[in-house]
């Protein structure tokens, strides 16, 4: 039996910073409102005519370097994104070309902000089944391309970025448990109305900004807290790991008040909860991937530590992995 482990993590962020003061000039908002209601001070913006594969490829190359794995050794690339370069081919194929991972199979996975945890779950199962030995999971988002820059209730929240993980076959068990959940009765809580097969992009769609994010933020807030806390608890139960044994919780970074509420529900002290939302805002699936990478870069993750992810997103979907760092 072979297990799977994370052999390397990587990230990529665009250089352009959009801070709250600049947003004050674009919509009727204030640095004070954004900071106190969300914890976000700034976010990164990729800029026009660049796709999520550009960020994803850079994050992937960094993760491969950190794992000391050559691109041609990658068996499978799973990309999780709600902002693919194009409807098809998959962003995974664009990334494959950019990083020259010529021996990889490729596909995209759609699980919105929960994508990284869903991606890790798939990769781990492909490895323990014996089908593959080396898998790249890339969560990459250009949220700025689907944000309505006239809607103050959403445009202050999102940013662009990419995070990646290389999973390899291992003799030691690392993924102790994974819990995934969904509830399709909430599809209207957070979605992009047009641009898919149901409503194609027309002039009317563009005039109404129906190709952009729509969100019922207030209602989502409560659902997000409950779903992420429950996901972490369920995964810990499956892993038979008591909450006190957690070294670090890495939650999705949608709102600092959501993260605080999850920590309090789980009775976790704040030094055990990783937060970087102030620098980047909500980058959908890339948020937890980049948070994981930065926690590792900061030296917060050591051999033997128990790391727990907790994510939540449009669908609704949610999930959690319990990982022993080996």
Ligand X SMILES: CC(C)(COP(=O)(O)OP(=O)(O)OC[C@H]1O[C@@H](n2cnc3c(N)ncnc32)[C@H](O)[C@@H]1OP(=O)(O)O)[C@@H](O)C(=O)NCCC(=O)NCCS
Site string for ligand X, 155-194 (x = CB under 6 A): -x---------------------------------x----
Q: Where are the beta strands (DSSP E) in the chain?
A: 3-12, 16-19, 42-45, 76-80, 105-109, 134-142, 160-170, 175-182, 190-191, 214-215, 248-251, 306-313, 317-324
| 115 closest CA partner among 241, 284, 260, 278 | 284
Whole-angstrom CA distances from 184 to 111, 159, 163, 252, 316 are 12, 25, 27, 20, 6
Q: Minimum distance from CB of 316 to ligand X (Å)?
A: 9
Sole window of 4-12, 167-175, 252-260, 263-271 interacting with ligand X (rule: CB under 6 A)? 252-260
Closest distance of CB 215 from ligand X, Å: 6
Q: Is 262 in the site for ligand X (CB under 6 A)?
A: no
Q: Which of residues 29-48 bind ligand X (CB under 6 A)?
A: 29, 33-34, 37-38
In 3-state terms, what secondary structure has residue 199?
A: coil
Nearer to ligand X, 153 or 276 (CB): 153
Site for ligand X in 116-155 (CB under 6 A): 152-153
Residues catalogued as catalytic: 113, 252, 282
Strand ranges across the sheet with 175-182: 175-182, 317-324, 306-313, 248-251
Q: Which stretch binds ligand X (CB under 6 A): 62-70, 126-134, 213-221, 273-281?
A: 213-221
Question: Per rule CB under 6 A, is residue 255 in the interface with ligand X?
Answer: yes
Distance CA 58, CA 78 (A): 15
Query: Among residues 56 and 315, whose Cβ is nearest to ligand X?
Result: 315
Q: Please state the closest distance from residue 58 (CB atom) to ligand X, in A.
A: 23
Instruction: In whole angstroms, give the CA distance from residue 235 to residue 231.
Output: 6
CB 120 to ligand X: min, Å: 17
- Strands 190-191 and 248-251 turn out to be unpaired
Distance CA 16, CA 90 (A): 26
Q: Compare residues 151 and 297 and give the one whose CB is closer to ligand X.
A: 151
Q: Helix, strand, or coil here: 37?
A: helix
When binding is defined by CB under 6 A, the residue of 78, 113, 262, 277 that contacts ligand X is 113
Residues that bind ligand X (CB under 6 A): 29, 33-34, 37-38, 113, 152-153, 156, 190, 215, 217-218, 220-221, 224, 254-255, 258, 282, 312-313
């Amino acid at each position: 039996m072979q297990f799977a482990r994370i052999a390397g993590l990587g990230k990529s962020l665009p250089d352009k910073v959009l801070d709250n003061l600049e947003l004050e000039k674009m919509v009727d908002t204030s640095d004070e409102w954004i900071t106190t209601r969300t914890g976000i001070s700034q976010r990164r913006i990729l800029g026009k005519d660049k796709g999520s594969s550009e960020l994803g490829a850079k994050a992937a190359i960094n993760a491969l370097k950190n794992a000391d794995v050559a691109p041609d050794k990658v068996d499978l690339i799973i990309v999780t994104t709600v902002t693919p370069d194009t409807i098809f081919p998959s962003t995974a194929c664009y990334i494959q070309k950019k990083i020259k991972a010529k021996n990889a199979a490729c596909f995209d996975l759609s699980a919105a902000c929960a994508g990284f945890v869903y991606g890790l779950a798939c990769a781990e199962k492909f490895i323990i089944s014996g089908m593959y030995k080396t898998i790249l999971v890339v969560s990459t988002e250009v949220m700025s391309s689907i944000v309505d820059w006239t809607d103050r209730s959403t445009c202050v929240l999102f940013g662009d970025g990419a995070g990646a993980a290389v999973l390899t076959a291992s003799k030691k068990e690392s993924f102790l448990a994974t819990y995934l959940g969904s509830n399709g009765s909430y599809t209207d809580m957070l979605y992009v109305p047009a641009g898919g097969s149901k409503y194609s992009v027309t002039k009317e769609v563009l005039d109404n900004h129906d190709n952009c994010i729509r969100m019922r933020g207030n209602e989502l807030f409560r659902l997000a807290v409950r779903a992420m806390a429950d996901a972490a608890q369920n995964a810990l139960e499956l892993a038979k790991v008591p909450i006190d044994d957690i070294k670090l919780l890495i939650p999705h970074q949608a709102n600092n008040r959501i993260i605080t509420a999850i920590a309090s529900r789980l009775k976790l002290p704040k030094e055990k909860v990783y937060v970087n939302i102030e620098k980047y805002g909500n980058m959908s699936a890339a948020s937890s991937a980049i948070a994981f990478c930065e926690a590792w870069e900061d030296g917060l993750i050591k051999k033997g530590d128990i790391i727990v992810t907790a994510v939540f997103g449009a669908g609704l979907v949610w999930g959690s992995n319990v990982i022993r760092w080996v």
